[in-house]
Amino acid sequence: MSFQSVLLFIHSWVRWLVLLAGAAAIVLHLIGLLQKRTDYEKPASISMSAFSGLIDLNVTIGVIQLVAFWRAWSAAAGGFPLPQIEHLTTMLIAAVVAHLPSMLWKNKAASVRFRNTLIAVVLVIALIVAGIMPLVGSRWVFRGL
């Protein structure tokens, strides 16, 4: 297995961890919002840290792939690998949006934090799905099985 294959395998599997952490964050923030909790509890905060941290990890792996294997992708695509650039751009935007809750709403009331963070997580997941779409091939399978 080549280094490129190993990185692609890890990048592909971390994506599922990102989506799992996003689902957990959605559930915790939805519960907090629906129950009108007055304290922004530690589990909600941890879920967002895990979610944004996994996104950061996957973006880092993706950037390493793009830089390390630029020539291979350029040759395979017959020039500039536009789908990879679109993917990277969308994922960078998703990473920024994933960090907004901890930056913008840290000192707000719990109800505002639960609501805004929930909206941010849903937006990030939508961006992730949109960012995967330009890539060639079936990206909704488990690599390495």
**C-alpha–C-alpha distance, residues 125 and 129, integer Å:** 6
Which of 135, 142, 129 has its CA nearest to residue 93?
Answer: 129
Please count the residues of the chain. Answer: 145
> 105 in helix, strand or coil?
coil
pLDDT digits (tens, 9 = 90+) for 123-132: 999 999 898 8
Average pLDDT over residues 33-58: 92
pLDDT-derived band at 138 (thresholds 50, 70, 90) equals low
In this structure, are residues 44 and 29 in contact, taking their beta carbons and an 8 Å threshold?
Answer: yes
Residue 118 CB coordination number (10 Å):
20
Find where tokens 């913008």 sit: 104
pLDDT digits (tens, 9 = 90+) for 77-127: 676 677 878 888 999 999 999 999 888 888 888 889 999 999 999 999 999
Q: Which helix (H) or strand (E) holds 118?
A: helix 110-132
